[in-house]
Amino acid sequence: MDQFSDSDLTLESLHTVIRLAGRFKEVNNRPPVFMEVCGSHTMAFAKSGIKKRLKDHVELIAGPGCPVCVTDQKSIDAMITLGESPNRILCTFGDMMRVPGSRHSLMTAKAAGNDIRVVYSPLDSVRIAEENPDKEVIFLGIGFETTIPVLTLAIREAEMKEVTNYSVWMTTKLVEPALRALLDSGDVKLDGFLLPGHVSIVLGKESYDFLPADYGMSGVITGFEPVQLLSGIYKLMNVLLEGKPGIINDYESVVTEKGNLIARELMDHYLAPFDEEWRGMGVIQASGLVLKDRFAIYDAKKKFQVSLAQPRKTKCRCGEIIRGLITPEKCVLFNKSCTPSNPIGPCMVSTEGTCAAHYQYMRED
């Protein structure tokens, strides 16, 4: 990986991208506008300084690929409510702990005495269920296609070990329906996508064929090191200048044409499409996966009755940031009442959040 973060090569690549962006501008009278779909790309662009250096040459817009950011407030409220009953243990990934719900966060609920545990893998939550047979263990199942196969592994583990006090609150998200919803809305004008590296390992290159076929839109699958990021931008501009929309796999070391077939088979076996609710984007048809009926005993939404009030409205503009409509600086709370130590919205909490990236690496002050 060292070659992809070599400083001389990064600088040379940066100048090459700027030169090509100049050509794009000559042809189109404006800079190219690209969306990086993945939250890890957003963070990598900000941290490497590339976003700042390119701001007059290539417009890079953050997209809806941060799983914590797109998780709707209702799911956090539901988990907090579930955890208030005795004999329950909630498990979650660390980032979700600080995301504010309507009343408070899971972190506050834990401080109030509820048994809420941070795990690194959903499999850890199955082990917790085995160790606590007199308690119900509920895992908050968030994530895109990178994480979803691991959720299915946890279900398989519970099934094989006949662990019946275990369930998942599924609120998973799929990339294709989100990109389709963005493009169908016409709200944000883009020239192309920098496609997520991790998710593409599971999905494969061919899963993006709908972009050129249905929208005439191009995309490049790219890695996360500075030279890889710049290479992705360069190749995307090249495709556009050649006028032939297509998908390029610029991350061939790990991404194949068809993706990880074993992971995809696992998802097909356990899960079915669901009209999932996204923060800021509303309900998108078939944009998530839930457990099939025959695995209902592991589905927390079916196992427990949770009645919820409408989520509390705040001035947080994460919903618009997720859709690429505004930058964090346009939110009046950014770097004032909303900071990483006092986050008002998930985009400031998550290590992949756009507001957190701008706060850490792109603040003018």
Give the 3-state secondary structure of residue 273. strand
Closer CB to ligand SF4, 102 or 238, in the complex:
102
Give the 3-state secondary structure of residue 219. strand
Q: How far is the CB of 328 from ligand SF4 (least distance, A)?
A: 5
Closer CB to ligand SF4, 111 or 332, in the complex:
332
Q: How far is the CB of 27 from ligand SF4 (least distance, A)?
A: 35
Q: Which whole-number Å values give the CA distances from 88 to 91, 223, 305, in the listed order?
A: 10, 40, 14
Q: How far is CA 224 from the centre of its chain?
A: 15
Q: How far is the CB of 345 from ligand SF4 (least distance, A)?
A: 3
DSSP code at position 299: B
Q: How many CB atoms lie within 10 A of CB 329?
A: 13
Exposure class string for 121-158: b at 16+ Cβ within 10 A, else e: ebbebbbbbeebeeebbbbbbbbbbbbbbebbbbbbbb
Closer CB to ligand SF4, 182 or 289, in the complex:
182
Closer CB to ligand SF4, 129 or 344, in the complex:
344
Closer CB to ligand SF4, 233 or 333, in the complex:
333
In one letter, which amino acid is 166? Y
Q: How far is the CB of 67 from ligand SF4 (least distance, A)?
A: 15
Q: Which whole-number Å values give the CA distances from 344 to 114, 166, 190, in the listed order?
A: 22, 31, 29
Q: Which whole-number Å values give the CA distances from 188 to 86, 182, 185, 324, in the listed order?
A: 46, 7, 8, 7
Closer CB to ligand SF4, 126 or 348, in the complex:
348
User: What does the binding site for ligand SF4 look like in residue numbers (CB under 6 A)?
Assistant: 316-318, 321, 328, 331, 333-334, 338, 344-345, 347-348, 355
Name the residue number minimizing CB distance to ligand SF4.
345
Q: How far is the CB of 94 from ligand SF4 (least distance, A)?
A: 17
Q: How far apart are CA 146 and CA 259, in angstroms?
A: 11
Q: How far is the CB of 272 from ligand SF4 (least distance, A)?
A: 32
